[in-house]
Structure 1
Amino acid sequence: MKITPILFIFIGCFFSYGQTEKNVDHQSILWTRYYNQLTINDKWSLHSEFDNRAFLKPITQNLYVIRVQGRYKINETLETGTGFNYFSVATQDPEATTDFNTPEYRGQQDITWKQNLGKITLNQRFQVEERFIHNANKTELLPGTTFSWRFRYRMQGDYTFWKAENRFLKAIVSDEILINAGKSIIKNTFDQNRVYTALQYGANKNIVLELGYLNSFQQRASGIDFFNRDIIRFSFIHKIKLNKKV
């Protein structure tokens, strides 16, 4: 898979934001999610996800997410998917309280390339998102939505420490850069960079538990305001196979 032109675009945007004067807001967040992988046959699967995110200092609701996507396995190394996300954002500032949540409706499409190297699995994903964010001010929702694109590139490595029948223990390390685009994007073409590390334990053929740390450095619409977020993420991954032979 040739990704060099894509990498140059993402790296260029990443370094351009580094020259900007920054006002950085440090935040601590807990992400908890239930992730269901329903395998239909050896080509098709349906993935659904329920994700809750809450600030820890002070304890305040950040947002919750519902995701649904269909995935198609092209061959042993390539896979693609398309889906829909619904976000309900309570606040991005744990010190501020509002009486309403701001909805976001998001389409997504991705292509993922996977390469197995013994105990190590390399995984590259390029994803496109179409974001429709409901208009709002500090006190209420307003009519209409604002549209923008977002492009994401993630490089991930998995290392399996131990495996026995349907159980395993692996480490995950990834880096993802996210880029905004569209008429509504003025000063924050760079959206964020996410660095993630985790341990994943396969309890049996159906249940996988994952605990990780994610650092998200995100530029806001002003261009000079940033979030630096320390995120603890716990995932309960539930695998179901309709075809037992898969």
Structure 2
Amino acid sequence: MKKLLLPILLLFISTLTIQAQETGEDDLGAWYMLFTNHRVSEKLSIHAEVQYRNYEFADNFNQLLLRSALNYHISDKAMASFGYGFISTDPTFEEPDGEKNTTEHRIYQQFVLRNSVGKFKFSHRYRLEQRFIDSPLSGNDTQHRARYFLRITYPFNDKWFLTAYDEVFINLQNDFFGQNRLYGAVGYNFSKNLSTQVGYLKNDFRVDTFDRFQVAVFIKTDFRKKKEEVKG
């Protein structure tokens, strides 16, 4: 029995190692992101973003996400949005020849609330998603998902700030828990319309956990000023 125990243990460890290598769980991946918001009137703005995600730091494509939305500003502290996203995903860490990506067309609705406690700024986002997925492995599928996002930001001054968030994904069909994202970053405001964040994300799924380095750029424009200047 003792003679069999060591080979079985080694086989178990090697199996876990192979599985980790196949998913890329042991590699530090990276997300490079651009977020823009264009204010067109007192009540309306347009959101657009691009996210390019790798399984590894500077290689091995994982996902391209393109997302846009029309935002309705109920007040300075509340906003409702209706949006669309296109997502192309390489579902495997390994890159075999002829592999086809999974594509997804996504419609979503969200509601955002903001508040402050002292110098701490809070943002709560509630989102519903309808996902129309075309997978080369499983075919066409329609899924529904709910997400809750909580961000906390602490400004040191007008330029530097710390920010952190947690977001939980809930499937509205089988497998209730989808994933959880925990994020922390240092941010810098170049101006009131341009900022950047450099941070770290831990992305937990039901089975795997991935570590991701993140760089994000945020750009804001305000077309209301131009309209006022034309009128003047």
TM-score range, shorter chain: 0.7 to 0.9
1:157 to 152, 160, 175: 152
Amino acid at match of 2:220: K
Is 1:239 aligned with 2:220?
A: yes
Partner SS, residue 155 of structure 1 = strand
Aligned to 1:189: 176
- Which whole-Å CA distance do the structure 2 matches of 1:229 and 1:191 have between them? 14
Partner SS, residue 82 of structure 2 = strand
Superposition pairs for residues 51-130 of structure 1, below 5 Å?
A: 51-56=51-56, 59-91=59-91, 93-97=92-96, 98-130=98-130
Q: CA deviation at 1:57?
A: 6.9
Is 1:37 aligned with 2:43?
A: no
Aligned to 2:12: none
Superposition pairs for residues 220-235 of structure 1, below 5 Å?
A: 226-235=207-216
Tell me, yes or no, if the aligned pair for 2:44 and 2:71 is still in contact at 8 Å. yes
Q: Which 4+ residue blocks in structure 1 deviate beyond 3 angstroms?
A: none
- Which whole-Å CA distance do the structure 1 matches of 2:57 and 2:187 have between them? 27
Partner SS, residue 192 of structure 2 = coil
Amino acid at match of 1:180: N
* Number of residue pairs aligned between Structure 1 and Structure 2: 204
- Identity across matched positions, percent: 25
Amino acid at match of 1:227: D
Aligned to 2:204: 217
- Which whole-Å CA distance do the structure 2 matches of 1:148 and 1:116 have between them? 35
Q: Alignment RMSD, CA only? A: 2.1
Please, which moves more after superposition, 203-212 or 96-105? 96-105
- Which whole-Å CA distance do the structure 2 matches of 1:120 and 1:100 have between them? 45
Aligned to 1:222: none
- Which whole-Å CA distance do the structure 1 matches of 2:76 and 2:52 have between them? 32
- Which whole-Å CA distance do the structure 1 matches of 2:133 and 2:208 have between them? 19
Q: 1:71-120: CA deviations, max 9, x gaps?
A: 111123211111000001123x3224353221101111111111022321
1:172 to 156, 163, 187: 163
Task: Please say which structure displays the higher CA radius of gyration.
Answer: 2
Q: Which consecutive unaligned segments of at least 5 residues does structure 2 have? A: 1-18
Does the C-alpha gap of structure 1 residues 95 and 66 become closer, same or farther in structure 2, counting only changes over 3 Å? same
Q: 1:139-180: CA deviations, max 9, x gaps?
A: xx85xx2011111111211111111xxxx2211111111111
Q: 1:193-218: CA deviations, max 9, x gaps?
A: 11111112110133211111110101
Bigger relative contact order, structure 1 or 2 (CA pairs below 8 A, ≥6 apart): 1
- Richer in helix (by share): 2
- Richer in strand (by share): 1
Partner SS, residue 244 of structure 1 = helix
